[in-house]
């Protein structure tokens, strides 16, 4: 028996299900008897929650819907596997269950935390002479993984952001009085998503008037003054700002608001509110109409506007992971390697998972303009190919059709 | 000479430019020599700001882009024309300018405030024996105009809302722990837009768990308790709430927050914050993860996901306005009349503009469920045909292409 198991972990992307499909189809084509899905990732696996994917993806239409369905089809988790020495029984339980299912390859689609899971399991397998192969498939809208040129999921989020910001820019110019629109974009520590707002500008669009990334220290007073200068020359000012911008003392900008936003059940401070705080400061100072626009979770689930380049790469990364496992590799992650810029060409390449696990890749300083209010053309050229081409929703009764695991 | 002038007024919709195109093409086909556009509506006209549309729409491609461009191509204004007795000189100025341009028909695309403009100008024309005809073209995402079955602009906003909420519902189920998502939707006094969230539910989607319209008094404690009940049976709870919900004493829910959000330059309180306030209340009470999602201005400018039914009706309303004016009518507005539900068929029909001006149409009480937490199937059947069919963006370099007046 050659069985495969696959899981999805961490925050979803618009194309995380394309990677799942890449795993499923490639495994089947390469002779897997059964392809199981972990329901809610490794956490579900520990609880014995798996599905046989052939039972839930019953026809080609299901698979085409899967590519177009937002969120993680199998469900996800945020779970840090303990070290074997901390909980050896847990590892025994996991491997016993995998052996029971006659698993030969374990694929995990996730970000840097999930790659840590792959590393621990593959190390354990090596120590215990298990023959199960463990391969990671990268995924994150944040694009903050090391080694890989970019991450599946980033291109679609970037396309959504650029398209939406472009619409906001047109909308901002509708009246004959000044309007300041501040668009808050995801990215706690890395500014890749916020940088995508730069692509809105072009022949038919004025572009944004400022881009503020978390890689640079944020100065609120300077920001307000910058907007003031922009208002002298422009009727509409549109600013893209990362949710994660911090002032010199290390506090997030959204923490400066007088009211205390609640802390969530996990003790994480709710970050949303940066744009709102800044809009309030601008409104008070200049008496102009302001708008705070949070793109919120729409950035990661807007599967009605996906990048086909991104989708294809996500699918290929899933397929390459199966291939790597079937060829006997383990403890590796599939990376994307850009082999050419003109024309854009990108291949998959396995790399040791330890190079990616728990590491965050930020926007390099040389891709941020000296004044800290924009990004360079190099950064725009880097993102540009990743948002290209489209994949249409399957429209049913006026809405994009999805597929779900539980009916 | 048979010249026509057209203006756009009030907040934009995704299809307001389709109405503009309907006016332009129909006027040209019916023999207009020149079709002028008011830049920023009647306010721009008063300042002598007009463009000859033939000079800015130079080819068929321009016109196809116009249909797909968000915001108001000509620019808009929020301006209440004074009565002739308050400022007779203003009327003389306007009519002198229209006569100079040899205008025979004046078309104005807007909401109930804009219909007031049409009423005043046509009344004045009648009194002063001017032969200029004044016709209104309805437009608003809010769907709050009287007489007309629905308004051009509503269907596309409803489609965007239903599609987005559907994505949010999938996203909310991604983890194995409880999440409450509160989606704040436009509509200060009328709940039509919020009601559109009901269309998300169907074969492939659980639908929203609650819909709260401004037509009903809102009880915050009851709301929090309702969410608590929902959390017992559902891992993910998704609620659609109008930005305009008010408690029994008449205050908006967002005014209950301890911090004071700023008042804008026009003295309007900033309403955004209802979802955030409610999410905070829920998080404090139940310790669950909550998300406040404001659809903000994306609801009115998301031209990348338009309803083709809406677009066609918007175009037809523009064309019908020209026809009515050329046939000698004045002081009228084009309404949409649903002549059949199965199959859906809708025609245009002129009506006296006084029946629409300054009147707000709310969701009828019988279309809201008794418990005030949802809408009836009649309301869903009413909206359903309005979100049907699609019009693809013209994708250039990975983004929807637009057209703008000023290069």
Concatenate the DSSP letters of all residues of A216-267 into one string. S---HHHHHHHHHHHHHH-SEEEEEEETT-B-TTS-BGGGGSSS-PPB-TTS
Per-residue pLDDT at B265:
45
- pTM here is 0.96
Per-residue pLDDT at A358:
81
Give φ, ψ of B288 to 5 degrees. -95, 160
Q: Which of B72, B153, B167, B407 to mutate to test the interface with A (most CBs of A within 10 A)?
A: B167
Query: Which has the minimum average pLDDT: A174-178, A259-263, B11-15, B157-161?
Result: A259-263
CA A200, CA A142: separation in Å to the nearest integer? 19
Mean pLDDT of B200-219: 97
Per-residue pLDDT at B163:
98
In chain A, which residue's Cα lies nearest the Cα of B201?
A: A399
The pLDDT tens digits of the residues spanning A251-295 come to 999 888 755 444 544 454 555 589 999 998 999 899 999 999 999
Per-residue pLDDT at A92:
98
Nearest CA to A398 out of B379, B238, B306 is that of B306
Which chain A residues are within 8 Å of B180, Cβ to Cβ?
none
Q: Up-side HSE of residue A389: CA atoms within 13 Å toward CB?
A: 10
Residues A217 and A172 sit within 8 Å (Cβ to Cβ): no
Per-residue pLDDT at B398:
98
- Asked if B174 lies within 8 A of A296 by C-beta distance, the reply is no
CA A69, CA B349: separation in Å to the nearest integer? 41
State ipTM. 0.96
Bond prior to B343 in cis (omega within 30° of 0)? yes
Sheet containing strand B179-185, strands side by side: B210-212, B236-242, B179-185, B289-294
Give me the active site residues of A, please.
142
Which chain A residues are within 8 Å of B387, Cβ to Cβ?
398-399
The pLDDT tens digits of the residues spanning A92-118 come to 999 999 999 999 999 999 998 899 999
CA B79, CA B10: separation in Å to the nearest integer? 8
> In this structure, is the dihedral angle defined by the CA atoms of residues A192, A197, A201 and A206, taken in order, positive or negative?
negative
- Asked if B167 lies within 8 A of A387 by C-beta distance, the reply is no
Give the CA distances from residue B27 to residues A5, B4, B115, B320, B323, in Å, rounded to whole numbers and listed in that order.
64, 7, 20, 10, 8
Q: Up-side HSE of residue A180: CA atoms within 13 Å toward CB?
A: 32
**What's the pLDDT band for B264 if we cut at 50, 70, 90?**
very low
Q: Which of B109, B256, B398 to mutate to test the interface with A (most CBs of A within 10 A)?
A: B398
Check pLDDT > 50 for residue B302: yes
Three-class HEC string of chain B: CCEEEEEECCCCCCCHHHHHHHHHHHHHHCCCCCEEEECCHHHHHHCCCEEEHHHHCCCHHHHHHHHCCCCCCCCCCCCCCCCCCCCHHHHHHHHHHHHHCCEEEEEEEECHHHHHHHHHHHHHHHHCCCCCEEEEEECCCCCCCCCCCCCCCHHHHHHHHHHHHHHHHHHHCCCCCCEEEEEEECCCCCCHHHHHHHHHCECCECCCCEEECCCCCCCHHHHHHHHHHHHHHCCEEEEEEECCCECCCCCEHHHHCCCCCCECCCCCECCCCHHHHHHHHHHHHHCCEEEEEECCCHHHHCCCCEEHHHHHHHHHHHHHHHHHHHCCCCCEEEEEEEEEECCEEEEEEEEEHHHCCCCCCCCCHHHECCCCCCECHHHHHHHHHHHCCEECCCEECCEECCCCCCC
- Asked if A176 lies within 8 A of B40 by C-beta distance, the reply is yes
Q: Residues A91-124, buried b or exposed e (16+ Cβ, 10 A)?
A: beebbebbeebebbbbbbbbbbbbbbbbbbbbbb
> In this structure, is the dihedral angle defined by the CA atoms of residues B365, B370, B375 and B380, taken in order, positive or negative?
negative
- Asked if B173 lies within 8 A of A302 by C-beta distance, the reply is no
Helix (H, G, I), strand (E, B) or coil at A374: coil
Helices B308-326 and B154-172: crossing angle, nearest 10°? 170
Per-residue pLDDT at B256:
84
Pure H helices in A287-354: 298-301, 308-326
Question: What is the distance in angstroms between the Cα of A128 and the nearest Cα belonging to chain B?
Answer: 31
Q: Which of A391, A399, A407 to mutate to test the interface with B (most CBs of B within 10 A)?
A: A399
Per-residue pLDDT at A78:
92
Give the one of B279, B297, B389 whose C-beta lies nearest to A291's C-beta: B297
Helix (H, G, I), strand (E, B) or coil at A397: coil
The pLDDT tens digits of the residues spanning B24-74 come to 999 999 999 999 999 999 999 999 999 999 999 999 999 999 999 999 999
| Number of other residues whose CB lies within 10 A of the CB of residue B353 | 29
**Quick one: which H or E segment has residue A400?**
strand A399-400
Give the one of A293, A402, A404 whose C-beta lies nearest to B296's C-beta: A293
Question: What is the distance in angstroms between the Cα of B166 and the nearest Cα belonging to chain A?
Answer: 9
Check pLDDT > 50 for residue A226: yes
Give me the active site residues of B, please.
142
Per-residue pLDDT at A140:
96
CA A406, CA B144: separation in Å to the nearest integer? 38
Which chain A residues are within 8 Å of B303, Cβ to Cβ?
167
Helices B88-100 and B112-127: crossing angle, nearest 10°? 80
| Number of other residues whose CB lies within 10 A of the CB of residue B388 | 17
Give the one of A40, A257, A305 whose C-beta lies nearest to B176's C-beta: A40
Per-residue pLDDT at B356:
87
Nearest CA to B212 out of B370, B363, B372, B381 is that of B372
CA B75, CA B406: separation in Å to the nearest integer? 10
Per-residue pLDDT at A261:
47
Residue whose entry in the numeric block shows the structure tokens 């199965």: B342
């Amino acid at each position: 028996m050659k069985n495969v198991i696959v899981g999805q972990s961490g925050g979803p992307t618009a194309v995380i299900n394309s990677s799942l499909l890449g795993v499923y189809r490639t495994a089947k084509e390469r002779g897997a008897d059964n392809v199981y899905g972990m329901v809610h990732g490794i956490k579900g696996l520990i609880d014995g929650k798996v599905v046989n994917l052939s039972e839930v993806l019953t026809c080609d239409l299901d698979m085409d819907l899967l590519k177009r369905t937002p969120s993680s089809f199998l469900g996800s988790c945020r779970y840090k596997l303990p070290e074997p020495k901390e909980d050896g029984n847990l590892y025994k339980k996991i491997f016993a269950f995998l052996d029971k299912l006659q698993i030969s390859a374990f694929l995990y689609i996730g970000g840097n935390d999930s790659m840590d899971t792959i590393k621990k399991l593959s190390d354990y397998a090596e120590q215990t002479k298990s023959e199960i192969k463990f391969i990671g498939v990268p995924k994150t809208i944040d694009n903050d993984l090391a080694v890989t040129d970019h991450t599946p999921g980033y291109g679609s989020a970037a396309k959504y952001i650029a398209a939406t910001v472009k619409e906001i820019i047109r909308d901002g110019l509708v009246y004959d009085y000044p309007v300041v629109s501040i668009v808050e974009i995801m990215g706690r520590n890395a500014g890749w998503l916020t940088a995508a707002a730069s692509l809105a500008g072009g022949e038919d669009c004025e572009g944004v008037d400022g881009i503020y990334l978390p890689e640079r220290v944020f100065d609120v007073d300077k920001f307000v003054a910058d907007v003031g200068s922009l208002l002298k020359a422009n009727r509409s000012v549109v600013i893209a700002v990362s949710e994660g911008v911090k002032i010199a003392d290390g506090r997030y900008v959204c923490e400066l608001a007088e009211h205390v936003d609640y802390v969530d059940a996990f003790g994480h401070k709710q970050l949303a509110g940066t744009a709102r705080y800044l809009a309030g400061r601008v409104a008070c100072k200049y008496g102009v109409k302001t708008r705070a626009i949070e793109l919120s979770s729409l950035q990661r689930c807007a599967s009605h506007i996906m990048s086909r380049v991104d989708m294809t790469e996500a699918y290929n990364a899933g397929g390459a992971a199966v291939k790597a496992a079937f060829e006997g590799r383990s403890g590796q992650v599939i990376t994307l390697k850009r082999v050419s810029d003109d024309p854009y060409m990108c291949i998959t390449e396995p790399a040791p998972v330890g190079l990616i696990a728990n590491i965050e890749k930020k926007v390099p300083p040389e891709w941020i303009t000296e004044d800290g209010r924009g990004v360079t053309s190099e950064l725009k050229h880097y993102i540009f190919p990743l948002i290209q081409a489209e994949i249409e929703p399957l429209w049913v009764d006026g809405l994009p059709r999805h597929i779900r695991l539980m009916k």
